[in-house]
């Protein structure tokens, strides 16, 4: 694994950051005096795979560091203290890397246990003592093969490493994104419902019988606290991505594996103890989305949602409270989204990194070195701290 | 539509105008929005709108042929109706590659041609509809709300090319009502798409930014280039590979598009002809070596297709022609690779996340 650390940057001390106990994996707080740090996986035109870090100060976007990875990663996750990051391999990959956010150094490359593969997502506990990953026990071709891997973050004065200490069921198949709820003890998991096997690469093996679900799990005991499904008619809507707002409302995005012409929700919200509330855009908008949402994120206030729809080349905006569709904006191949200032930063497979200002309803360009983004395809998700 | 030679002549002036001096790979050869817009307008006015207009005209003839047949259920009129169906299908195949813009409104694309139907749902739905004998669902208001699988060209093909079609139509008056509804539906969709292109989408193409949908003219051009590349992938992965199978003894005739009317390879000829016209229009966006490579593959494809019959069913049952089908598949793959290389050598990116599935 090669490493390219960019030196002599106007770097703020990351360790002096106030502890940002944000629930969202991608909330670059505007009231924080330090510039935020963003992480994303990317692939270049030579088909090399990278993890890239950058920051934005005074509308100037600057690369911090870059690591070549052995294969595509899907999402990166920052620890609560923002001193560590983990980038997890894309389904059905079997590696993840742990790194030091300040130096950019890779501290450990971790293999999935025998018989497990990752789904590209993980989350730290709020005390940064544990890290949780969504996994598949892929040789179980009949049962609920989803697993939550439990990793202890072992820290000494000189080393930091993840150690596999436990696992528990995800109570479904194909768990994808998982997050920590505001009580800091409950994990919420999107069981996408799709069975895959590394030998079949990315082939989906159970589209007719898939049963996605949303599951709340006690992170200490592995107990299933609450499990919710979409109405039966939407059983082919694979729940993939999640976000939580400061009020504890959960938002989820789906990709529909059924017929391309059916009018089905691709977004929903949920409050514990209630039914899932699906959200639909007006017919002409909904039918253009190609049954696919890439990422979903709340804005900093938690009132608005952005859902990236890279197959439709749009970002869609929603009122999280009412569930109403508000607006859409053209953004070719945009997928990674992240709350930033009064709107969202987004990344695209075209190499673009841009800011959408919600009050002005306008895309804003930033100053970016051409060398940083030319020939680069940003992967699905942006993380920030 | 302009004849091919006049169209090429018209475009060649544009291409010569835009051909830049040699640059290093990785650079965009077209840098000005107005140059992209000039090509986009030429494509819209010379290829897209005329193709949809042609489909609309053919579908009007389809309505007439349906009425003739239903007023006199003769073998001659059935043949005439089949011919009219073929003309509509060919007109559709010439513009099938455009899977963005108005054709995607109201599921028009799926309602026109829902294929492949891997689970055979359309056939079952069509049988159920015929069994119901329900005339109320065949009205112009109700029919567009029926399952997409019964509304378009594949259903018409199934009705007309059944071995017992003539006697079935004579025994069951509902088949004529249904065929009339399908023909009218195809015409209404063609009319709707044509009007939307002329009234709305052309305005976007003239001024993409003011139209408020596209970021710029290049963004719009990428939609056309993506349509080109995806149509080649569709021929390779859906129209050829499943029918050809692994070997001569594992072919799957019924996986071919339009297998009932034995026009699978005619469809592909039309698809490739449209792809070549579209590529020619945008060729100034590519480096000369890449253009040469792509043009050569198109020439190879023309030779291979000329040696094959219209019917893939026939070709799949003849070992020598089967080998030619394998060559055809390899050449379509080569075309896809050549286009991919050409795109990679510019800074035009068709998609990364949009092709993903996570």
Decide whether B1-31+215-358 matches B50-213 in CATH topology: yes
Model pLDDT, residue A4:
44
Indicate yes or no: CB of B353 within 8 angstroms of CB of A348: yes
Per-residue pLDDT band for A33 (boundaries 50, 70, 90) equals: low
Higher pLDDT, A153 or A28: A153
The pLDDT > 90 percentage for chain A reads 81
ipTM: 0.84
pTM above 0.95, yes or no: no
The model's pLDDT over B177-224, given as tens digits with 9 standing for 90+, comes to: 999 999 999 999 999 999 999 999 999 999 988 767 888 999 999 999
Model pLDDT, residue A244:
97
Model pLDDT, residue B11:
56
Does the pLDDT of residue A168 top 60, yes or no? Answer: yes
Task: Tell me if A341 is assigned to some domain.
Answer: no
Order of strands across the sheet with A250-256?
A237-244, A250-256, A267-270, A277-279
Per-residue pLDDT band for A202 (boundaries 50, 70, 90) equals: confident
Per-residue pLDDT band for A303 (boundaries 50, 70, 90) equals: very high
Structural domain for A236, as ranges = 3-288
Indicate yes or no: CB of B352 within 8 angstroms of CB of A90: no
Query: Maximum CA pair distance of chain B?
Result: 69
What is the tally of structural domains in chain A?
A: 1
Within 8 A of A74 by CB-CB distance, chain B residues are 358
User: Can you tell me the distance from the alpha carbon of A7 to that of B181, in angstroms, rounded to the nearest whole number?
Assistant: 70
Q: CB-based contact (8 Å) between B25 and chain A? A: no
CA–centroid distance for A194 within its chain = 18
Within 8 A of A380 by CB-CB distance, chain B residues are 353, 356, 358
Per-residue pLDDT band for A11 (boundaries 50, 70, 90) equals: very low
Does the pLDDT of residue A329 top 50, yes or no? Answer: yes
From residue A321, how far is each of A95, A112, A314, A326, B239 by CA, in Å? 38, 39, 22, 12, 46
Indicate yes or no: CB of A311 within 8 angstroms of CB of B354: yes
Per-residue pLDDT band for A34 (boundaries 50, 70, 90) equals: confident
Task: Tell me if A157 is assigned to some domain.
Answer: yes
Task: Tell me if A181 is assigned to some domain.
Answer: yes
Place of tokens 């099938």: B96
Architecture of domain B1-31+215-358: Up-down Bundle (1.20)
The model's pLDDT over A358-370, given as tens digits with 9 standing for 90+, comes to: 999 999 888 988 7
Domain ranges, ordered by start, for chain B: 1-31+215-358, 50-213
Within 8 A of B357 by CB-CB distance, chain A residues are 202, 255
Indicate yes or no: CB of A333 within 8 angstroms of CB of B353: yes
Summary mean pLDDT of chain A: 91
The pLDDT > 70 percentage for chain A reads 92
Among A350, A351, A370, A378, pick the best mutation site for testing chain B contact (most B Cβ within 10 A): A350
Nearest by CB: A332 against B222, B347, B358: B222
Size of interface A-B (CB pairs under 8 A): 75
Per CATH, the homologous superfamily of domain B50-213 is M75 peptidase, HXXE motif (1.20.1420.20)
Model pLDDT, residue A21:
40
User: Can you tell me the distance from the alpha carbon of B277 to that of B282, in angstroms, rounded to the nearest whole number?
Assistant: 9
What's the gap in Å between the CA of A116 and the closest CA on chain B?
18
User: Can you tell me the distance from the alpha carbon of B280 to that of B22, in angstroms, rounded to the nearest whole number?
Assistant: 19
Does the pLDDT of residue B176 top 90, yes or no? Answer: yes
Q: Which residues of A touch B (CB under 8 A)?
A: 43, 45, 74, 90-91, 120, 176, 202, 240, 255, 259-261, 283-284, 287-288, 294, 308, 310-311, 313, 330-335, 348-351, 374-375, 377-380
Indicate yes or no: CB of A261 within 8 angstroms of CB of B222: no
The pLDDT > 70 percentage for chain B reads 92
Q: Coil, strand, or helix at residue B89?
A: helix
* A347 → chain B, closest CA residue: B353
Task: Tell me if A351 is assigned to some domain.
Answer: no
Buried b / exposed e along B168-207 (16+ C-beta atoms within 10 A):
ebeeeebbbebbbbbbbbbbbbbbbbbebbbeebbebbee
Q: Mean per-residue pLDDT for B60-86?
A: 98
Identify whether the C-beta of residue A133 lies closer than 8 Å to the C-beta of residue A88. Answer: yes
Q: Provide the CATH number for the domain around residue A76.
A: 2.130.10.10
Higher pLDDT, B348 or A44: A44
Q: Mean per-residue pLDDT for A272-289?
A: 94
Nearest by CB: B358 against A43, A91, A287: A91
Per-residue pLDDT band for B24 (boundaries 50, 70, 90) equals: low
């Amino acid at each position: 694994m090669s490493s390219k650390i960019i030196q002599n940057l106007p770097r703020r001390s990351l360790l002096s950051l106030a502890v940002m106990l944000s629930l969202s994996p991608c909330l670059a707080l505007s009231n924080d005096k330090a510039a935020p740090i963003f992480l994303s996986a990317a692939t270049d035109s030579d088909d090399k795979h990278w993890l890239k870090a950058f920051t934005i100060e005074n509308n100037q976007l600057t690369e911090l560091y870059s690591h070549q990875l052995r294969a595509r990663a899907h999402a990166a996750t920052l620890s609560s203290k923002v001193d560590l990051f983990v980038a997890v391999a894309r389904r059905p990959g079997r590696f993840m890397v742990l790194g030091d956010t300040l130096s950019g150094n890779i501290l450990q490359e971790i293999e999935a246990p025998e018989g497990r593969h990752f789904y590209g997502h993980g989350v730290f506990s709020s005390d940064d003592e544990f890290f949780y990953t969504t996994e598949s026990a892929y040789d179980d071709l009949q049962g609920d093969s989803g697993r939550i891997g439990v990793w202890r973050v072992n820290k000494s004065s000189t080393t930091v490493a993840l150690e596999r200490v436990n696992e528990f069921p995800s109570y479904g198949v194909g768990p994808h994104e998982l997050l920590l709820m505001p009580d800091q003890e409950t994990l919420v998991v999107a069981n996408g419902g799709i069975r895959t096997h590394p030998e079949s690469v990315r082939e989906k093996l159970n589209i007719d019988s898939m049963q996605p679900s949303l599951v709340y799990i006690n992170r200490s005991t592995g107990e299933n606290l609450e499990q919710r499904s979409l109405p039966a008619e939407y059983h082919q809507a694979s729940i993939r991505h999640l976000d939580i707002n400061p009020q504890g409302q959960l938002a989820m995005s789906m990709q529909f594996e059924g017929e391309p012409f059916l009018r089905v929700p691709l977004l929903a919200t949920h409050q514990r103890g209630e039914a899932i509330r699906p959200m639909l855009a007006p017919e002409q908008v909904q039918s253009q989305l190609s049954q696919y949402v890439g990422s979903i994120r709340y804005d900093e206030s938690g009132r608005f949602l952005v859902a990236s729809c890279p197959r439709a080349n749009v970002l869609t905006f929603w009122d999280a409270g009412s569930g109403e569709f508000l607006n859409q904006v053209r953004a070719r191949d945009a997928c990674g989204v992240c709350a930033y200032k009064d709107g969202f930063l987004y990344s695209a497979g075209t190499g673009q990194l841009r800011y959408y200002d919600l009050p002005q309803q306008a895309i804003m360009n930033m100053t970016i070195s051409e060398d940083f983004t030319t020939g680069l395809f940003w992967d699905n998700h942006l993380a920030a701290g | 539509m302009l004849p091919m030679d006049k169209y090429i002549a018209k475009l060649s002036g544009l291409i010569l105008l835009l051909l830049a001096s040699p640059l290093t790979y990785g650079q965009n050869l077209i840098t000005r929005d107005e140059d992209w817009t000039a090509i986009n307008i030429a494509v819209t006015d010379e290829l897209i709108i005329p193709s949809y207009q042609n489909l609309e005209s053919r579908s009007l003839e389809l309505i007439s042929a349906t009425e003739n047949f239903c007023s006199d259920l003769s073998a001659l009129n059935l043949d005439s109706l089949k011919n009219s169906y073929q003309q509509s299908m060919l007109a559709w195949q010439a513009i099938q590659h455009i899977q963005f813009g108005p054709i995607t409104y109201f599921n028009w694309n799926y309602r026109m041609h829902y294929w492949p139907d891997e689970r055979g749902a359309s056939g079952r739905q069509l049988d159920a509809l015929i069994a119901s004998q329900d005339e109320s669902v065949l009205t112009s208001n109700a029919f567009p709300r029926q399952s997409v699988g019964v509304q378009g060209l594949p259903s018409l093909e199934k009705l007309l090319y059944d071995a017992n079609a003539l006697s079935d139509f004579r025994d069951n008056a509902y088949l004529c009502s249904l065929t009339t509804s399908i023909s009218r539906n195809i015409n209404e969709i063609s009319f709707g798409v044509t009007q939307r292109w002329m009234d709305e989408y052309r305005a976007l193409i003239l001024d993409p930014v003011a139209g408020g949908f596209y970021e710029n003219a290049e963004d719009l051009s990428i939609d056309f280039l993506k349509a080109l590349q995806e149509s080649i992938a569709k021929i390779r992965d859906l129209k050829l590979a499943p029918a050809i199978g692994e070997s001569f003894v594992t072919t799957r005739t019924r996986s071919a598009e339009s297998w009932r009317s034995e026009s699978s390879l005619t469809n592909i000829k039309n698809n490739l002809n449209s792809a070549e016209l579209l590529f020619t229009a945008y060729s100034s966006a590519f480096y000369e070596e890449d253009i040469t490579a792509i043009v050569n593959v198109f020439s190879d494809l023309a030779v291979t297709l000329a040696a094959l019959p219209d019917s893939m069913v026939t070709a799949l049952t003849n070992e020598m022609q089967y080998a030619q089908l394998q060559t055809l598949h390899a050449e379509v793959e080569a075309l896809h690779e050549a286009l991919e290389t050409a795109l990679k050598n510019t800074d035009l990116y068709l998609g990364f996340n949009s092709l993903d599935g996570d």
